[in-house]
Amino acid sequence: MNWETVIGLETHVQLRTKSKMFCGCSTAFGAPPNTQVCPVCLGLPGALPAANGAAIGLAVRGALALGCTVHPKSIFARKNYFYPDLPKGYQISQFDQPLATSGTLSFVSPERSVVTATIVRLHLEEDAGKSIHDRFAKGTGIDLNRSGVPLIEIVGGPDLRSPAEARAYLQTLKQLLEYIGISDCDMEKGSLRVDANVSVRRAGETAFNTRTEVKNINSFAYVEKALTVERDRQIALIESGGTVTQQTMLYDAKENAVRPQRSKEESHDYRYFPEPDLPPLVLTAEFVAEQQSALPELPAAKRDRFVAAYALSREHATVVTSNRAVADYYESVVRAGAEPQAAANWVMTEALADANDHQEQLRVAPGALAQVIALVKGGTLSHQAAKKVFGEVAAKGGEPRNIAEALGLIQVADTNVVAGWVTDVLGAHAPEVGRYRNGETKLMAFFVGQVMRASKGKADPKLAQRVLEEKLAASA
């Protein structure tokens, strides 16, 4: 039996503000528990919310980047439920009149090429506190520093058809939100969280079947794992004659299993009603236009431009535009005079590898990388030697040429000197010389490698090959 999976993601994204959504408490991550709290975010009687204008602006930018219709008037509503990490007993959210609706997000699916998923709605709300389940033997610890941090909830349509596709969607969404700078989207810190609605249906069916909601997914890898486990559970259940019931499942990463969540309350009725302490959120056309003009070039547009302007392949352009800092860095290297493809090659390999080992810092200044590339192009440095120079510049700074000279890496283009190394190498590898002369010409790479080794990377490899060819032909 062929099964099709239907997935829709609800993504919660903490907005990058200094203060909380409805009070002046700090949003800084990592402070000692319950030190960033006040009467408003603790829900103490009589405290009144005051909306953070910057959070509203960032939410509007997110909506515009997703192509949503931003509504001139939206309403905050109380979503009522009881849980210890929600001291007010309700969350200020938006319900029937959200900030924005009807957007799209295009991404590359591992199975279906480019997919355009719908964004049903995007609304503003406040975060709840954090429950710490494993700190105390007989109780649960509650930290309310997170209570009231501004969030947007992005509700995606049921357009995703596999766990891998859900992961690709989420990575593209994260990339977009990071580009526009509205969130750091760090799943480990909880600034990007995702819940997934999952159902399965037989191939060819068009109606949606009963879905479950999977929560507690804390990393991109877990998105795929959790949804795979839940999909397989539903298929096995149906194939054994059972039926899927609508419920919330929690993903247990340690066991790679999903389990029904203990219900937070008896009823799923959140008894939404308009927040009486907040008048409607009214956005002027000028405010929305201001947010639009604050948006940078979006990743897809940048990728297309890199393909057109720098003649990069789509794959290379995708890597180089993977995040805004890398894309800006690449363009700075090109602007400093590097040939675009060579710059892409260096950024994709050495620069990103070095950044990966050093907290994502691009440690070599764009101008210095352009110089390294120029030294290779001009025949002053071999590629291998240039990598060493890059490493030194990354670690200690300095001018690439000076470092190359100090390390004795300037390429030797003197034919007599290179011929000396070639003679030594051929003398030391008589059996290989014999095989070469018997037609095993692929050994040329071996000889060039040996000359490079003998010269400690200083020989010009092209010159070395020419001298090798001459000497091997002459003595044959």
Strands 76-80, 273-274: parallel, antiparallel or unpaired by DSSP?
antiparallel
List the interface residues with other proteins, window 74-103 (CB under 8 A).
Answer: 76, 84
Instruction: Check residue 65 for interaction with other proteins (CB under 8 A).
Output: no
Dihedral, CA of residue 90, residue 93, residue 96 and residue 99, to nearest 10: 170
Q: Considering the complex, what minimum distance in angstroms separates the CB of residue 35 from other proteins?
A: 7
List the interface residues with other proteins, window 138-157 (CB under 8 A).
Answer: 138-144
Strand order in the sheet with 76-80: 90-94, 76-80, 273-274
Residue 17 or 465: which CB sits closer to other proteins?
17
Q: Considering the complex, what minimum distance in angstroms separates the CB of residue 327 from other proteins?
A: 27
For other proteins, the binding residue among 14, 52, 91, 455 (CB under 8 A) is 52
Write the DSSP assignment of 391-449 as a string of letters. Answer: HHHHHH---HHHHHHHTT-SPB--HHHHHHHHHHHHHHTHHHHHHHHTT-TTHHHHHHH
Residue 55 or 70: which CB sits closer to other proteins?
55
Instruction: Check residue 34 for interaction with other proteins (CB under 8 A).
Output: yes
Q: Considering the complex, what minimum distance in angstroms separates the CB of residue 186 from other proteins?
A: 20
Q: What is d(CA 468, CA 255) in angstroms, rounded to the nearest whole number?
A: 60
Segment interacting with other proteins, rule: CB under 8 A, options 53-61, 103-111, 300-308, 433-441? 53-61
* Residues binding other proteins: number (CB under 8 A): 54
User: For the purposes of burial, counting CB atoms within 10 Å of the CB of 134, is it exposed (0-12), middle (13-18) or buried (19 or more)?
Assistant: exposed
Name the β-bridge partners of 116. Answer: 106
Q: Considering the complex, what minimum distance in angstroms separates the CB of residue 148 from other proteins?
A: 11
Residue 74 or 162: which CB sits closer to other proteins?
74
Contact 148, 40 (CB under 8 A): yes
Residue 379 CA to chain centroid, in angstroms? 37
DSSP state of 241: T
List the interface residues with other proteins, window 390-429 (CB under 8 A).
Answer: none
Residue 25 or 200: which CB sits closer to other proteins?
25
Q: Considering the complex, what minimum distance in angstroms separates the CB of residue 352 from other proteins?
A: 33
Interface contacts to other proteins, rule CB under 8 A: 17-19, 23-26, 32-40, 42, 50-56, 76, 84, 131-133, 135-136, 138-144, 216, 250, 252, 259-263, 266-267, 269, 278-282
